[in-house]
Amino acid sequence: MTTTTDRADSPNFDEVRRSATAILTRAGVENADVDAELLIGHVLGLSRGQVQAKAVTGTAISVDDAAAISAAVERRAAREPLQHITGIAPFRSLELEVGPGVFVPRPETEQVAQFAIDALSAVAGAAPIGVDLGTGSGAIALAMATEVPHAIVHAVENSAPAFVWTKRNFARIGADNATLVFVDLADALPELDGTVDVVISNPPYIPAGAIPRDPEVRLFDPEHALYGGADGLDVVRQVSATARRLLHPGGTLVLEHGELQAAALAVLLSEDGWSAVATHRDLLGRDRATTALR
């Protein structure tokens, strides 16, 4: 698309940016200015910094490009996730393809993944083994594989709509040390029993009766990736059982969970025989991850 025009009646970057920000603000979108700049950049093939620079200089935008930006902004104002509009979700050093049917990876999960990456990196030996149960977009598994390149990483997913995106991202990233399996996590990877160093999972953990606050989650994320039974811990219980089967003694389990679930999760894991159960807070001070040792 073109980004300049000679027409006197054409809008400029600053006008389009301010208009987009105002629309998104009225729609209740957090960080409306950021999303406005990212949407403009997406339509025009520009970085956010380039958008900001062109806004400062008052660079004109063609009428056609302004209309395309307006259409993207209206989708975001309807609370469609930004990542569904752009088709891309950043995660640590990766850019992943996402869309309907797969859970959009969140920034707070990047910190949770760090626990698994650190644990893998600390394993003595040539090829530590990591497993991501319920990999979704593949974000955590591919982060482990690319950031610990001497590790062997296995990713497990059982949702057919999500698996479409997982396969795309495995092909996109091209990590030779990562493999993908379509199977229920209860039955996953019996050939690895007792040999795995790290198991991580970001399972569905919202209680069935709870309604997510954000429309982006409530209306667009797949229910399969959100709800974990009456107390939100049904899938966590299965993750615990599968991880105990897969991990060798001393292996590490990493779980993401809701901010109000840490105490119940600690009891669950202790009763399952895990040791060194520890809760970790995210950057906003909310309980976000629990680690334990086999």
Q: How many CB atoms lie within 10 A of CB 176?
A: 7
- Cβ(260)–Cβ(231) below 8 Å: no
Task: Say if residue 55 is in the same domain as residue 113.
Answer: no
The pTM (predicted TM-score) of the whole model is: 0.89
Q: Is residue 166 part of a domain?
A: yes
CATH of the domain at 61: 1.10.8
CA 55 centroid distance within chain: 31
Q: Is residue 84 part of a domain?
A: no
Q: Is residue 4 part of a domain?
A: no
Q: Note the pLDDT tens digit of each residue in 91-146.
A: 999 999 999 999 999 999 999 999 999 999 999 878 999 999 999 999 999 999 99
Distances (CA, A) of 103 to 139, 143, 205, 288: 10, 16, 13, 17
pLDDT at site 41: 96
CATH of the domain at 240: 3.40.50.150
pLDDT at residue 8 tops 90: no
